[in-house]
């Protein structure tokens, strides 16, 4: 009996050591592993599509190439359709920029002066007399951070080369992960001790249920928001409609950030463009309506509430992921948080069944 207890203890410490080692490797080699992690998550997301085609008697290599061609066609369609629209909107907005600045100078700045009792220089002579001397005094403090960033960027050419290499590695890694995904699953499953397989299978199923809805549904939700925001702002007549729609949609990766940033920018543009309060009110109604449809209909239908993470957990995960791995860490924060939550649930369940809890 004592030997069995000791063996179980050694097994638990072994699993904890493996987990700690894995976390350490991911942290230390994060920039190298990130493209492979992205490729693995993409393979995980599209493996059910390939399995579906295999059940229709399509060989796996042909099914994989079909999936890759569909993804490539979607990217080409984006470049051919969306990019020209964005370019046209930005060009039109730049043409209207002098009118916006004139409105700020003649209407907005006088309002601020009257409201707060301050004087804001408007003419070139006033700016020369008041602002430029101040800038000369503060120039070292103002440009020190900018200089540091520029020096860091130009000196770190390896970072740029690594980013280009990542873009090349991801498609190849995606293909090979997808090609051997079922073999990889069987191999990993073979290393799970037989007596632990029922419990591991239950938690893997929980993890799959948590991640599947997010990975397969997040892009559809973003697409839905971008289209609805873009069309709605276009109907209202706001400049940069699709640019603002894309910003608001992709900002939804972090809860409430897309809504707040997109709404704020859209109200600002509509105020500068129409110089009234009716069109900003239309913008507020549009964002409220889209958020209601997205929260009550689209997200439950497409994602099925599978992730089940509290908004504060998501925000914390995004901050931690961004701090550790940059922009890619932000993109992978929610799936990573879902994995961590499932692991904590497993540990909590194991603790409740342990003699320590029952004592």
Q: What is the pLDDT of residues 34-68, one digit of tens each?
A: 788 888 888 888 888 898 899 988 898 899 999 99
Nearest CA to 336 out of 180, 211, 237, 252 is that of 211
The rounded distance, in Å, linking the Cα atoms of 313 and 309 is 6
Nearest CA to 308 out of 271, 338, 278 is that of 338
The rounded distance, in Å, linking the Cα atoms of 318 and 335 is 10
Residue 228's pLDDT is 92
> What percent of the chain shows pLDDT beyond 90?
12
Q: Residue 186, Cα to own-chain centre: how many angstroms?
A: 31
Residue 262 or residue 200, greater confidence: 262
The length of the chain, given as a count of residues: 359
- Give pLDDT tens digits for 149-161: 555 555 555 566 6
Look up the pTM and report it: 0.66
How far the first Cα of the chain sits from its last, in Å, is: 19
- Give pLDDT tens digits for 4-36: 555 555 555 666 666 667 666 666 666 677 788
Q: Which residue has the tokens 């029952």?
A: 358
The rounded distance, in Å, linking the Cα atoms of 285 and 270 is 13
CA distances from 295 to 103, 221, 289, 298, 299 (A): 37, 10, 10, 6, 6
Please state, as a whole number, how many other Cβ atoms lie within 10 Å of the Cβ of residue 338.
Answer: 26
Indicate if the pLDDT at residue 230 is higher than 60: yes
- Give pLDDT tens digits for 99-137: 777 777 777 777 777 777 776 665 556 655 565 566 566
């Amino acid at each position: 009996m004592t030997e069995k207890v000791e063996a179980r203890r050694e097994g638990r410490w072994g699993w904890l050591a493996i987990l700690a080692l894995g976390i350490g490797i991911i942290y230390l080699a994060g920039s190298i592993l990130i493209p492979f992690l992205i490729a693995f998550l993409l393979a995980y997301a599209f493996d059910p599509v390939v399995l579906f085609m295999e059940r229709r008697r399509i060989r796996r290599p042909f099914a994989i190439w079909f999936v890759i061609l569909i993804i490539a066609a979607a990217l080409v369609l984006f470049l051919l359709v969306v990019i020209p629209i964005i370019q046209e909107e930005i060009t039109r907005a730049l043409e209207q920029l002098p009118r916006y600045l004139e409105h700020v100078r003649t209407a907005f700045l006088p309002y601020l002066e009257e409201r707060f009792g301050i004087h804001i220089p408007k003419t070139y002579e006033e700016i020369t007399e008041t602002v430029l001397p101040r800038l000369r005094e503060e120039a070292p403090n103002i440009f020190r951070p900018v200089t540091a960033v520029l020096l860091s960027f130009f000196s770190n050419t390896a970072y740029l080369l690594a980013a280009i290499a990542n873009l090349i590695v991801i498609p190849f890694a995606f293909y090979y992960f997808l090609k051997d995904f079922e073999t990889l699953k069987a191999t990993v499953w073979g290393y799970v001790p037989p007596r632990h397989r029922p419990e591991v299978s239950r938690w893997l199923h929980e993890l799959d249920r948590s991640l599947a809805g997010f990975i397969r549904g997040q892009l559809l939700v973003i697409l839905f928001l971008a289209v609805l925001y873009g069309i709605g702002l276009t109907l209202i007549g706001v400049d940069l409609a699709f640019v603002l729609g894309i910003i608001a949609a992709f900002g939804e990766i972090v809860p409430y950030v897309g809504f707040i940033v997109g709404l704020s920018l859209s109200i600002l543009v509509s105020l500068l463009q129409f110089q009234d309060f009716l069109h900003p009110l239309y913008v507020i109604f549009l964002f409220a309506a889209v958020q209601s449809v997205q929260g009550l209909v689209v997200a439950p239908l497409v994602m099925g509430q599978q992730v089940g993470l509290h908004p504060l957990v998501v925000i914390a995960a995004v901050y931690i992921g961004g701090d550790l791995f940059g922009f890619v860490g932000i993109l992978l924060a929610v799936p990573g948080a879902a994995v961590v939550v499932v692991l904590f649930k497993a540990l909590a369940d194991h603790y409740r069944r342990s003699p320590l809890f029952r004592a």
